[in-house]
Structure 1
């Protein structure tokens, strides 16, 4: 339930940012880049279908040296059934392992739970449809997302980044 409200908030911010922009009303959707090892652009990666069950590690934050948090997640039938924080974030070494993901904006506000990869892709698509700048990279082998960057603001420093690693289907 909290995830849907956070998604609506992202969509609302994107709509407001799009309405206040002096540029064209066309959505700003960046084509995926292949900067990560093993990642491919959307056109060259196989189409990914969310499997019935999988696990992954989600690293949140755009600065790899100072992530906002790392989370091990397990997904069944498109829903995160379990997640836990992996260590303390580099930004706050004293953080408790029981801390939630935190606000999607990085500011104070409502906390969200770790999204499934399907929910993360859906959130990126909604943001792009609402005029946000979105960049998604995919695994060249099976097509699962490996990095999602969403920015619904004109401020380049306001991007929200999600790095996916240790993906295991089944």
Structure 2
């Protein structure tokens, strides 16, 4: 549910930014390793696979999730390493679990196809987008989206432990 809200907010910011722009398109984020992107084969999302999705651009991730996709749909997702906490009675909003002193979050984990589609839509709406793909089989390994001029405002998703046919 929170990812849906975040994605809606991301799309609204992109649409509003597009409506108020002076007509100049934002430059795309340059991939520091273009040879890697150029040599990745095309990827077709398999019906079944598993992966770990880490959200966050910094060295300290916002959240890490282990996910399984079956018949093209997310069948299971669980947060890795989260410590559940009970919010205080005075808390107005449940901010989710806390990990190592940092406020955590719970998200609706996207399939890799949904993650790629989200990046494509954000790029079409004028966001700066960089997507890296695995050179062996072409699955996405990193998506970075920035709808603002501030590089620190970028959202990042990193994919590891991808196993097709799981």
Q: How many angstroms does 1:96 deviate by?
A: 10
What SS is found at the alignment partner of 1:40? helix
> 1: distance between equivalents of 2:103 and 2:118?
27
Q: Does the Cα contact within 8 Å between 2:2 and 2:106 map onto a contact in 1?
A: no
Number of aligned residue pairs: give it: 151
Q: Does the Cα contact within 8 Å between 2:53 and 2:160 map onto a contact in 1?
A: yes
Which has more radius of gyration?
2
Runs of 4+ more than 6 Å apart: none
Structure 1 gaps, min length 5: 102-112
Q: How many angstroms does 1:15 deviate by?
A: 1.6
Q: How many angstroms does 1:154 deviate by?
A: 1.6
Structure 2 gaps, min length 5: 84-97
TM-score normalised to structure 1 length: 0.77
Decide which of 103, 114, 118 is 2:113's aligned counterpart.
118
Could you say which residue in structure 2 is the equivalent of 1:110?
Answer: none
Could you say which residue in structure 2 is the equivalent of 1:87?
Answer: 81
CA distances 1:83-133 after superposition (whole Å, capped 9, x unpaired): 1111138x8326899x623xxxxxxxxxxx010100000000000000000
TM-score normalised to structure 2 length: 0.78
RMSD between superposed Cα atoms in Å:
2.7
